[in-house]
Amino acid sequence: MNDKIEPIIIPIASGKGGVGKTFLAINLSFALASLGKKTILIDLDFGGANIHTCLNYKYAPNGIGNFLNEKKNKLENYLLATQNKNLKIIPGDAEMVGIANINAMQKKKLLKQILTLDADYIVLDLGAGSTYNTIDFFMISSFAFLVITKEITSLLNAYALLKNSIFRLLYQNLKKNQKIKEIFDNHYIKGGEEAWTIDDLLKKINLIDIDSYENATSILDMFKPKLVLNMGETPEDIKKGEVLRDISKKNLNIDMEYIGYIQNNKIVSDSILKCIPLAIEAPNSQIFQTIIRIAYKIINAKKLPYFLLDIDDYENSLYIIEEEAADDFVDDIMKNKDDSANTVQELLSIIKRLENENEELKTKIRELRLETLKNKKG
């Protein structure tokens, strides 16, 4: 009997590049390791892997690309040691041709091998954006992390990632019912904002099959991404993350935990330039201590059923071919559709309203200060 406990997977993604996703992945992995947890960090930024560079490797070591292209190899053979005995990494091989577009069979192979690794926590540094490779690894775990900044483009792209992830997560779990699959297919083709109204989808699913409806609501309850706002300038920036949480709750029926706020600090850019993790360069800094607190939250979190993507979906070779063809078809459709103008405008209006309220508050504070000064002079 195999009593091995599967590791908890922590996928880290972002709607766009440049928000500090890899910085968080590296330093969170070091934080978990420093708390005594056996941790593995895997670079799954297909086609743009750079964890090895951030850890001061001069050349890209063998890693994910080699594993995927060698039939009988094991993922554990590519583990590399770090400065912390509890942390190992698996590089991503950005220089290997074709690594950016792995197929469904390779995805299944990788998922199965990840679960065999000997670790308490496995951190996945995913690519930015809403590609299917990013989404499929992002949605496998209820411990998924979404990194944003206060910038409007970051919020909009993060919402797009969540929207696409929820739709694909439900589709993957419910598509065996042909009538329900047709609903999803019709929404794909139709496009636009209505295609992403989760309440509308749930109502239609409920009319077809109550068990599938209950399964869908259960999936939504389990999918609770953790939100991290990076590069914050003032505490007011936290409100931007609240906007994303509110609109995701309203439109996508998901609750996101606001798990961390990391301030913008020169010490971070210095560590990145030196290719030395903050965990090594400045372990006592406020920024790294903030990441330590995030690690504590993970360790003490309620252990929900966390593996949300059924890898057996990739079992049938015919299905694999069908899915890849469908993915290409949907991708082509989505490229030619406008990007949910209603949602974008709604999010922009909410952000603008908060900014206006903030400016009004600042004006009132200035007026009160002037009135106080006049009273003192009088």
Q: From the centroid of its chain, how far is CA 110?
A: 18
CA distances for 211 relative to 111, 171, 179, 202, 238, angstroms: 27, 15, 13, 12, 39
CB 229 within 8 A of CB 148: yes
Q: What is the pLDDT of residue 234?
A: 77
Joined together, the tokens standing for residue 35 give 């708390």
CA distance 4 to 117: 10
Task: Please state, in angstroms and rounded to a whole number, the distance separating the CA atoms of residues 258 and 237.
Answer: 13
The stretches of the chain forming alpha helices (DSSP H) are: 21-34, 51-54, 64-69, 104-116, 132-138, 152-174, 178-190, 198-208, 210-222, 238-252, 266-274, 278-281, 286-300, 317-335, 341-377
Distance CA 351, CA 341 (A): 15
Q: What is the pLDDT of residue 342?
A: 45
Q: Give the tens place of pLDDT for each residue, 189-203.
A: 555 444 457 888 898
How much is the pLDDT for 304?
52
**What is the pLDDT at residue 120?**
94
Give the pLDDT of residue 198.
Answer: 83
Q: pLDDT for 134-182, tens place per residue?
A: 888 888 888 899 999 999 889 989 998 998 888 888 888 888 899 988 8
pLDDT in the model for residue 80: 93
Residue 141 pLDDT: 84
- Amino acid 329: pLDDT: 42
d(CA 135, CA 138): 5
CA–CA gap between residue 123 and residue 56 (Å, rounded): 19
pLDDT confidence of 75, banded at 50, 70, 90? very high
Count CB neighbours of 49 within 10 A: 26
Percent of the chain residues past pLDDT 90, beyond the cut: 25
Q: Write phi, then psi, for 258 (nearest 5 degrees).
A: -80, 100
* Rounded-to-integer distance, Cα 212 and Cα 30, Å: 40
For residue 146, give every residue at least 6 positions away whose Cβ sits within 8 Å of its Cβ, in sequence order, or none.
Answer: 13, 14, 15, 158, 161, 162, 225, 226, 227, 228, 256
Least confident of 44-53, 222-231, 308-317: 308-317
Residue 24 backbone phi and psi in degrees, to 5: -70, -45
Q: Which helix (H) or strand (E) holds 226?
A: strand 226-232
In tens, the pLDDT along 243-291 reads 888 888 888 888 888 888 888 889 998 998 898 999 999 999 888 988 9
Lookup result for tokens 């000064």: 373
Contacts of 134 (CB under 8 A, 6+ apart): 13, 126, 127, 128, 161
What would the two tokens of residue 78 be? 């590519």
How far from the centroid of its chain's Cα atoms is residue 192's Cα?
Answer: 23
- Over residues 85-95, mean pLDDT: 84
